[in-house]
Amino acid sequence: MRMISRINICFVLLLLGIGSVFAQTPKETPPPPAEPRPLTVPVISQTVLPNGLTVVTVPKKDLPLVTAYMVIKGGANMETAEYAGLADVTASMLTKGTALRSATQIAEDMEFLGADLNTNAAWNASTVTVNVMRDKLGKALAIMADSVIRPTFPANELNLLKKQTGDSLKVRLKQPGALLTYVAGNFTYGEHSSGGTPESIGRIRSRNVETFHFANYRPENAVIVFAGDITPSEAEGFAKLFFGGWEKGKTEYRLQDPTEATEKKASDDVIDRMLVIDLPASGQAAVGYAKALDAGRVSCRGASRCGESSVYFPALVLNSILGGGYSARLNQEIRIKRGLSYGARSGFEWRYEYADFSASTQTKNESAAEVAELIRIEVEKLAKGELDEKELIPRKAVVTGGFGRALETNSGLASRVADLYLYGLDPKKLNSFINDVGSVTDDQIKSFATDNLLGGDMIIVGDSKLFMDDLTKRFPNRTIEVIKASDLDLNRPSLRKR
């Protein structure tokens, strides 16, 4: 027993000695990021079928896998606020039954092939994607084409989807973070929610889904990108076989005029309006800064054809600095230094000729006012302060690193290529992405922030009695509008119920 005790004591002393050595070792400064590695995207081939479907091929031979990524140039931007969520419901219903297969058969057949079939709708577009082994591509494409061209939208499946979606929304809209997103869309951006509301989802009928599909799911309004172990001639053959009989629309397709961003007067202040949504007994508060931008993914003004917006790359780097990752400024100030949140972030939602910017986090109700002030300070620093090159270089590396990782997978590569086709941009732009990011200067970032990020809205959703006193102290002489969550009507531009 004594020997065992001596051994234990020696072991503890040894650990203490090792610990003291590590404690006395000075921290080393991490090395600077290496120069970005050159990235060459495989040669992109394109053909257009007689029915107007654009077929794009990006060969990538390292694995016997293929992604077929179809983008339909119509999403929530092609629905009305009365039927918000219609694009999303239509996309979800594609796999719920066709003229040849039931929903169960579609799921079982895809599982048998070891493939996955995904559908989605966002603001600018709807997508249908298949990922499968090369030798099973034909069978998977047969199911994909059946779902895209010949869906039947069974009433029982639609009613079930509406019930599930409505119930999910009712739960989500009691959560501060989700409610903040909905309120910002209405109050700041002047948009309806692409996910819909319980009321708008409830209005959708089979005829609405059929009409949306008929108007938007058309070959001349679609692009299919094949990425992976496939040649251009093989891709064209598959496209002709499974999508060549897809009938072109009988009327000229025209994209609806985009929703215009809410006009904002020029401002030297970060915050134009402050809005509090009082959600009593909420476990946390969601704090967000929102700004509608009149510059988008493309620029068409005064030009014979649309081109890439000059603000796009400065915005990407700015976002990396502000809230695009763990070591970005918002997360540093709010989480790492003060422990007020599990994470803070920012981002841009790009539209054709405008964009939605947001910076947000969740925190204790009691610290909501402090967090709002920290967000304001960080946005103001970008517009009025200077950037250190030591910070700019690694934040650019975050952007280019994320881009490079995305291109490592077939689905990531296909989605990047499809995104350029969606906006009518040259797919060769992928090859210049790293250089475009690297050429962004601190003056461009500051100018972008000054021109686009000032004069936004600070929105807080939470239990107002726990932070209003602190909020008025931190933001004196500022009007703070308060709306009870129970009085909200997210189907109305004014937000308030009548």
**pLDDT, tens digit (0-9, with 9 covering 90-100), for 406-434:** 999 999 999 999 999 999 999 988 999 99
Name the DSSP letter for residue 125.
-
Express each pLDDT in 263-310 by its tens digit. Answer: 444 566 899 999 999 999 999 999 999 999 999 999 876 555 678 899
Kindly state whether residue 7 falls inside one of the protein's structural domains: no
132 shares a domain with 68: yes
Domain of 223, CATH number, reads 3.30.830.10
| 381 or 385, which is more confident | 381
457 shares a domain with 346: yes
151 shares a domain with 289: no
Kindly state whether residue 130 falls inside one of the protein's structural domains: yes
Express each pLDDT in 313-341 by its tens digit. Answer: 999 999 999 999 999 999 999 999 999 99
Kindly state whether residue 174 falls inside one of the protein's structural domains: yes
Please, how many CA atoms are within 13 Å of residue 388, restricted to the half-sphere of its CB? Answer: 4
Mapped onto helix, strand or coil, the DSSP state of residue 173 is coil
183 shares a domain with 50: yes
Backbone angles phi, psi at 117, to 5 degrees: -120, 115
Kindly state whether residue 37 falls inside one of the protein's structural domains: no
Distance of alpha carbon 9 from alpha carbon 307, whole angstroms: 72
Given this model, what pLDDT does residue 387 score? 84
71 shares a domain with 211: yes
Kindly state whether residue 256 falls inside one of the protein's structural domains: no
Beta strands in 264-303 (DSSP E): 271-278, 285-293, 298-299
Kindly state whether residue 335 falls inside one of the protein's structural domains: yes
Domain that residue 308 falls in: 271-487
Q: In the predicted model, is pLDDT for residue 261 greater than 50?
A: no
Express each pLDDT in 84-116 by its tens digit. Answer: 999 999 999 999 999 999 999 999 999 999 999
Q: In the predicted model, is pLDDT for residue 255 greater than 50?
A: no
Q: Which of 243, 261, 291 is the last residue of a domain?
A: 243
348 shares a domain with 227: no
The predicted model scores a pTM of 0.88
Q: In the predicted model, is pLDDT for residue 17 greater than 60?
A: no
Average pLDDT, the chain: 90
402 shares a domain with 478: yes
pLDDT band at 492 (very low <50, low <70, confident <90, very high): confident
Express each pLDDT in 196-240 by its tens digit. Answer: 999 999 999 999 999 999 999 999 999 999 999 999 999 999 999
129 shares a domain with 73: yes
Provide, rounded to the nearest whole percent, the portion of the chain with pLDDT above 70.
Answer: 87
Kindly state whether residue 471 falls inside one of the protein's structural domains: yes
Given this model, what pLDDT does residue 254 score? 47
Given this model, what pLDDT does residue 482 score? 97
Given this model, what pLDDT does residue 305 score? 67
278 shares a domain with 218: no
Number of domains in the chain: 2
Q: In the predicted model, is pLDDT for residue 56 greater than 90?
A: yes
When pLDDT is averaged across residues 441-460 and rounded to a whole number, the result is 95
370 shares a domain with 454: yes
CA of residue 219 relative to chain centroid, distance: 25
295 shares a domain with 224: no
155-173 b/e (C-beta count within 10 Å ≥ 16 → b): eebbeebbeebbeebeeeb
92 shares a domain with 178: yes
Q: In the predicted model, is pLDDT for residue 241 greater than 70?
A: yes
Beta strands in 3-125 (DSSP E): 45-48, 54-59, 65-72, 116-121
